């Protein structure tokens, strides 16, 4: 959605849609129906969990065409029901998406019951498998209040242990936004970055391609954050302002 996360007056979402519009017009001029169908599928895939009926009605109202963006999902779910089990995370997501759709419409109680049963069976299998894995690891996660660290809590993650992971979080004084300072390395690539999280969007506003424990960030007030870094660090991203719709955050830098 345009305006959801804007860096220094640059809106990547709006730019993405502008490029997609250009691409669509090009396919139309070329008479490339297959490419247009693939593009439509790509653009509507993410709408399945966000009120597809509203989108379908919008298309009908604006163009006169009836487009069922759930057609492929229904076919995939029918195949999963026929095999009587969920065999992958993708199938799990498909069943969840169909359940969401049924809850938004007039649900078929028998179908809902069947889909919930499939989800429960798959979740049980996954939990049993997870309990057998021995590659869980602890990560240091620090919750930060204005003016300092509030507490340090160990978290459990599954998967290979990264060479380094450390995270600090800071909540804005009004409690509406959050910033994070993350140090991460997998042994091949490393980074230290600062992200700002609005209620509906988030993104990195500062980043360095190395582990830099002396990079700090905190809230100066509800609409300003301070990032402490060093002059000799070369940042791959260093923004001065970030906006989510009408919510604007200024970013000030202190370089030692």
Domains of the chain by residue range: 71-132, 137-255
| Cβ pair 148, 126 in contact under 8 A | no
From 176, 212, 177, select the one nearest 193 (Cα to Cα).
212
Residue 46: per-residue pLDDT: 64
Q: Is the dihedral of CA 244, 10, 180, 138 positive or negative?
A: positive
Residue 254's pLDDT band (boundaries 50, 70, 90)?
very high
pTM above 0.75, yes or no: no
pLDDT in tens, 66-119: 877 778 888 999 999 999 999 998 898 888 888 877 876 766 788 888 999 999
């Amino acid at each position: 959605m345009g305006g959801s996360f804007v860096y220094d007056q640059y809106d990547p979402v709006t730019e993405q849609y502008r490029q997609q519009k250009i691409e669509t017009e090009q396919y139309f001029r070329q008479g490339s129906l297959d490419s247009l169908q693939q593009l439509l599928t790509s653009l509507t895939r993410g709408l399945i969990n966000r009120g597809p009926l509203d989108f379908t009605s919008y298309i009908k109202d604006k163009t006169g065409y009836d487009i069922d963006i759930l057609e492929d999902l229904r076919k995939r779910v029918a195949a999963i029901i026929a095999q009587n089990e969920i065999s992958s995370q993708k199938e799990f997501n498909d069943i969840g998406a169909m359940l969401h759709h049924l809850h938004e419409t007039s649900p078929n109680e028998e179908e809902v019951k069947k889909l919930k049963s499939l989800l429960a069976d798959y979740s049980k299998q996954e939990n049993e498998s997870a309990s057998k894995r021995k590659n869980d690891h602890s990560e240091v996660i620090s919750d930060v209040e204005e003016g300092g660290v509030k507490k340090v809590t160990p978290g459990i993650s599954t998967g290979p242990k990264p060479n380094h992971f450390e995270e600090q979080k800071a909540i804005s004084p009004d409690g509406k936004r959050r910033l994070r300072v993350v140090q991460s390395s997998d042994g091949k690539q490393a980074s230290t970055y600062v992200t700002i999280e609005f209620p509906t969007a988030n993104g990195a506003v500062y980043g360095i391609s190395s582990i830099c424990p002396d990079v700090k960030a905190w809230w100066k007030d509800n609409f300003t954050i301070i990032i402490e870094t060093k002059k000799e660090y070369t940042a791959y991203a260093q923004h001065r302002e970030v906006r989510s719709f009408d919510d604007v955050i200024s970013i000030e830098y202190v370089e030692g």
